[in-house]
Structure formats: structure tokens, C-alpha cells
Amino acid sequence: MQTVNIRHIFHIHRHKITLGLLLVLFSSKAFSQMNIAENDEVAYQHKLHFGVELGYNTSNFKVTLSNVYTTTSLVKTAQSYNGPGFTLGIISDLRLWRYLDLRFIPDLSFGDKSLHFLTPDSTVIKDIQSTYIDLPLDLKYKSLPYKDVRFYIFAGASYSIDFSSTSKARLAENLVKISPDDVSAEYGLGMEIHLPLVIISPEIKFSYGLINVLTPNSDLIYSTVLQGLRVRTVLFSIHFEG
């Protein structure tokens, strides 16, 4: 399932980011009318707290082409298109300082990506489904509270295992093999809304794969035009923390 060419991903996502920020600002205004700053002080007394993450993700590949695509008569070029997915995570948040947290959110993430190979006669589409266990570790820096709202930014790294990986699949000439292991750098921003019993945090996260997940094989027709594939993901999520 494809929607956006990787060359236009950030151009397209600007609308989603704008919508997310508008929702965040609306939530901030609404909740500020019904809460008092005491909720933030109560939350501050807990050095370690937990929660759940629910999110929508969209991902694709950054494609690096090999020299073969300029000479082969079968495949001329390849492009990646992004697809949708969802994420469910468990939050562990440790307060290091009043404005700095260490955050660990292991999650289960499902997602679709696709590769489009242009041949002389048609476009061949290879859909790639992934089921990830992600193990991200981030540092989260928070602003001073305004009423019961804190804005924050974060950055870190994540190790991922893809249980739907095709790297060990039996050889087939039309297969693209993807490695199960990946390491990515990530960053993002969000907003904490402190209610009497829960902290609600809308958040957006950008993740960039640091490892080439392509498993090359000269016997695989569609792999010969590829030199590298790196996963790029955007995650829109809501956190509920106690």
C-alpha cells in the first residue's frame, strides 16, 4: 500500500504535523481551564512512573541504487513508497532532574512499506510487511510548567528486531531480502498535559535507520539494482502515564 514517494515525505507530512500541533494546542487550552498547577507538583513527587503508548506510524526506505541499474535491461530504477502502521508500547520514565528524564519505551510496531521497480514494460511493486520489537532509549528535556502543561523535546537511539524479515527465506528470483536487525537515531517533540490522575502526552517522533537492512544477493533479480535500504519512520502517538 503506497501513498507518498520518499522524495516528498516531509512535504506531505507537514500537513499531519500541522494538524497534530493544532490538536495539541486545542487540548492545552481545554485542559488548562479545568486543572490547577498542583497536578504537575504531584507528578513531580514520583521519580519513576509508567504508562502506555498508542500510535500511528508511517515508514519507507531511503534507497541507494547500485551501478547495476544503469546497465541492466530488466530493471531501470527503484523507488520506495511509504505505508501505514500502528504501534503499542509500554512506557518507563525515570526523572533524572526536574527538567530531564530518561525514557525507555519497548513497543510492538506493525508497518507496511513498498519498493517500486521500473522495468521497460511496467512497474513491479514489492510490498514489505514488518513486525518490529523496538527498544528505544531517549533523553527527554521538559520546559517549565504553564498551568498543567509542559512542552518537551527528546532524542536517542533504538534497536529493532523485525520478526517478519525475509532474510532467511528460501531463494526466489523475485525476492528482496531484508535483514531483521536495525539501529536508528530518533528525535521528536511533544506536550505533557497533567490531569489529576494521569498525564496525557501527544507526541511526534522521527526515526532514521543507521544500518543498511538490505541483504544483497546477486541471484535475486530485483536486489541487483539496490545497494542500500535504510528505514525512515514517522510516529504520531498519545502517551498515558500514571
The backbone torsions φ and ψ at residue 160, rounded to the nearest 5 degrees and listed phi first, read: -130, 145
CA 177 → CA 117, 149, 213, distances in Å? 15, 45, 9
Q: Provide φ and ψ at 189, rounded to 5°.
A: -150, 160
Give the pTM: 0.77
Average pLDDT, the chain: 80
Q: Per-residue pLDDT tens for 208-229?
A: 999 999 887 777 777 778 889 9
Q: Residue 8: beta bridge partners?
A: none
Q: What is the pLDDT of residues 80-103, one digit of tens each?
A: 988 899 999 999 999 998 889 999
Amino acid code (one letter) for 124: V
How far is it, in rounded angstroms, from Cα 167 to Cα 186?
Answer: 25
Task: Please state the domain extents for the chain.
Answer: 6-238
CA distance 152 to 100: 9
The Cα–Cα gap between 102 and 38 comes to 23
Q: Candidates 3.20.20.480, 2.40.160.20, 2.40.50.100, 2.70.98.60; correct CATH number of 6-238?
A: 2.40.160.20
Q: Which residues pair with 230 in a beta bridge?
A: 62
Among the residue ranges 111-125, 164-178, 180-194, the one predicted with the least confidence is: 164-178
Residue type at 147? Answer: K
